[in-house]
Structure 1
Amino acid sequence: MQWQRRLMALLLMSGLFAEAEASPASATASWHLRVVTEQGDTLVDAAAPEGSRWCIQWQHSVEHFTVLDCYRNLDGTMQLERSHQPDFAAGLGHIYGRGEQVSDGEGGYWINAINEPVANNRYVLRVGSTAVNHRVVWPSNEHTTVSLSERAAGQRVTIELSAS
């Protein structure tokens, strides 16, 4: 658990959770991060103004450590910005030419500057069990976290950035 506190401290120090200033373009569109089940139930509907950042966080199903995929709203496009992995476990690792791998100083690594747009501003995720605990984390006064696994374990959900 101590490494998780260190990870959150690293995130805070890195500026990943810095609130974004609203730009003139964002004044014309009200962007939202939404997570919706196949049945149409909304699990998350949160303001995501231009420049905002959020992560999908989960426990690796084999190695049981925390993994983060971090996104941002860049000019109305959901973009995979960076990823954190504490190990080169099954299914994880850096792909040459896709971002820059750097040490996190704790034995794991960040893949920074991935900066890949997510096709159509949405993707589908099969939510893991509560042991995997897929969750959305983003900045607020309390660094709010919403567990998708508590509400939709085993279900397909769509994670999307959309204008209202």
Structure 2
Amino acid sequence: MQWQRRLMALLLMSGLFAEAGASPASATASWHLRVVTEQGDTLVDAAAPQGSRWCIQWQHSVEHFTVLDCYRNAGGTMQLERSHQPDFAAGLGHIFGRGEQVSDGQGGYWINAIDEPVANNRYVLRVGSTAVNHRVMWPDGEHPTVSLSERAAGQRVTIALSSR
């Protein structure tokens, strides 16, 4: 048994074995979700360790219902994990071969298992008005919900997962 623990430690140190595809460096990094304006103002700087999940939530500008795009830190990679839409409204819908569409039991649907990496762990969002109310929320309640629209309506922001 002792030799197995030593072998595992040796493999981990050599980088030949990585849990769930994560490198040893990404396993120990201090990951943060950051939302920053083009002027450099930080709107969100929240701890986002491996496995953590967050969503961008907003009101659809035409149909006025809530839409969610949910992400996770998958071994240091920001992944679009799932999306929720209560309707097949303008600009929304499931793309065949991209995740699995399931009913939410209330007339809407989730697209689960999208698991699509976000290029360079960041993307740009033009924040909607307070009527649209783009916000960052954490499904587990780990952090308070932050309204981006209250602080940066009409502005471009960068949403990024980064390590310190």
TM-score scaled by length of structure 1:
0.83
Using the TM superposition, give the Cα deviation of residue 62 of structure 1 relative to its aligned residue in structure 2, in angstroms.
0.2
Using the TM superposition, give the Cα deviation of residue 28 of structure 1 relative to its aligned residue in structure 2, in angstroms.
1.7
| Residues 54 and 160 of structure 1, relative CA distance in 2, 3 Å threshold | same
Quick check: 2:30–2:49 contact (8 Å CA) kept in 1?
Answer: yes
| Residues 75 and 4 of structure 1, relative CA distance in 2, 3 Å threshold | closer
Superimposed CA distance per residue, residues 7-49 of structure 1 (whole angstroms, 9 cap, x where no aligned partner): 9999999999999999976652000000000000000000000
CA distance in structure 2 between the aligned counterparts of 1:75 and 1:129, rounded to whole angstroms: 33
CA distance in structure 2 between the aligned counterparts of 1:3 and 1:133, rounded to whole angstroms: 56
Quick check: 1:33–1:162 contact (8 Å CA) kept in 2?
Answer: yes
Using the TM superposition, give the Cα deviation of residue 3 of structure 1 relative to its aligned residue in structure 2, in angstroms.
56
Quick check: 1:124–1:156 contact (8 Å CA) kept in 2?
Answer: yes
Quick check: 1:136–1:146 contact (8 Å CA) kept in 2?
Answer: yes
| Residues 74 and 105 of structure 1, relative CA distance in 2, 3 Å threshold | same
| Residues 141 and 64 of structure 1, relative CA distance in 2, 3 Å threshold | closer
5-14 or 89-98, which deviates more: 5-14
149-158 or 19-28, which deviates more: 19-28
Give unpaired runs (5+ residues) of structure 1.
none
| Residues 28 and 10 of structure 1, relative CA distance in 2, 3 Å threshold | closer
Quick check: 2:15–2:24 contact (8 Å CA) kept in 1?
Answer: no
| Secondary structure of the structure 2 residue equivalent to 1:79 | strand
16-25 or 77-86, which deviates more: 16-25
Q: Quick check: 1:145 aligned with 2:131?
A: no
User: What's 2:17 paired with?
Assistant: 17
CA distance in structure 2 between the aligned counterparts of 1:4 and 1:65, rounded to whole angstroms: 54
Using the TM superposition, give the Cα deviation of residue 63 of structure 1 relative to its aligned residue in structure 2, in angstroms.
0.2
User: What's 1:124 paired with?
Assistant: 124
Give unpaired runs (5+ residues) of structure 2.
none
The count of residues paired between Structure 1 and Structure 2 equals 164
| Residues 78 and 64 of structure 1, relative CA distance in 2, 3 Å threshold | same
CA distance in structure 2 between the aligned counterparts of 1:39 and 1:63, rounded to whole angstroms: 32
CA distance in structure 1 between the aligned counterparts of 2:9 and 2:90, rounded to whole angstroms: 26
| Residues 18 and 106 of structure 1, relative CA distance in 2, 3 Å threshold | farther
Using the TM superposition, give the Cα deviation of residue 55 of structure 1 relative to its aligned residue in structure 2, in angstroms.
0.1
| Residues 148 and 113 of structure 1, relative CA distance in 2, 3 Å threshold | same
| Residues 50 and 142 of structure 1, relative CA distance in 2, 3 Å threshold | closer
CA distance in structure 2 between the aligned counterparts of 1:19 and 1:57, rounded to whole angstroms: 31
Superimposed CA distance per residue, residues 36-78 of structure 1 (whole angstroms, 9 cap, x where no aligned partner): 0000000000000000000000000000000000000000000
